[in-house]
Amino acid sequence: MQVRPGASSNTKLMPVLDHGPRNKKQIALTFDADLTALMRKRLLSGKVKSYYNKALVDELRAMHVPATMFLTGMWMEQYPQVVRELANDPLFELGTHTYDHRGFAKHCYTLGTVPPGEMLADVRRAVVQLDQLDPHATRWFRFPGGCYDATALHELAPAGVTAVGLDVPGADGFAKSAQPIVKQVLDHVQNGSIVVLHMHGGDNAPYTAQAVGPIVRELRARGYELVTVTRLVSRR
């Protein structure tokens, strides 16, 4: 059986990948699809039309940008057909982002906290959900808010996934325009960077689609190749 990208056999401690090799001019753009219980309420009440930023995905496709996307279980439940479409697109690879986007360490913004005894089940639940929708699902995983501690890494080791951190937060959450997002990314990237942006749009990340075009054009002008996380860490 083929080993999936990001699969870990370390049963004691979940591995964490923060960036790729610094000697190659490659950068991975990654996009998180958050959905929390509160966000779902806003969706169902009609306050928010959608937490799927289709304009962003259309832009990535138009510019032929490979990307790694991290999906919460709740988001997959809301948009199963979209997950299947993304899974079938050779530009993209999919990983998990927990079930409902609660924090895996105390005081993680306003996300609440998953009790240690529930951490493993939460992460496994999202992995199972993604496997049902994507036959090529990776074992890359991202912590909500990027928050974790030694307890989380220990509790989650049996899940067999690798946490993908970041060295460039895109700051698109609750941004007021596209320009600060573009500046934040372009000011901080370097060889091997993993950039974190969001693909749920709505009221939480409304300007990501407008920011991605200028970011991609400038990175390519600087000579960077945009790749998936799997390609970033491959030895080829």
What does the pLDDT look like over 160-196, one tens digit per residue?
Answer: 999 999 899 999 998 999 999 999 999 999 999 999 9
Q: What are phi and psi of 210, to 5 degrees?
A: -70, -30
Q: Give the residue-averaged pLDDT of 44-54.
A: 97
Average pLDDT over the chain, rounded to an integer: 97
SS (H, E, C) the chain: CCCCCCCCCCCCCCCEECCCCCCCCEEEEEEEECCCHHHHHHHHCCCCCCCCCHHHHHHHHHCCCCEEEEECHHHHHHCHHHHHHHHCCCCEEEEECCCCCCEECCCCCCCCECCHHHHHHHHHHHHHHHHHHCCCCCCEECCHHHCECHHHHHHCHHHCCEEECCCEECCCCCCCCCHHHHHHHHHHCCCCCEEEEECCCCCCCCCHHHHHHHHHHHHHHCCCEEECHHHHHCCC
What does the pLDDT look like over 55-73, one tens digit per residue?
Answer: 999 999 999 999 999 999 9
- What are the tokens at 203? 């009221």
Total length of the chain: 236
Rounded to whole angstroms, the Cα distance separating 82 from 53 reads 11
Rounded to whole angstroms, the Cα distance separating 76 from 93 reads 14
Is pLDDT above 70 for 1?
A: no
The pLDDT assigned to 235 comes to 80
Q: What percent of the chain has pLDDT over 70?
A: 99
Report the predicted TM-score, pTM, of the whole model to 2 decimal places: 0.98
Q: pLDDT band for position 227 (50/70/90)?
A: very high
CB-based contacts of 49, cutoff 8 Å, min separation 6: 202
**How many other CB atoms are there within 10 angstroms of residue 23's CB atom?**
8
The pLDDT assigned to 2 comes to 75
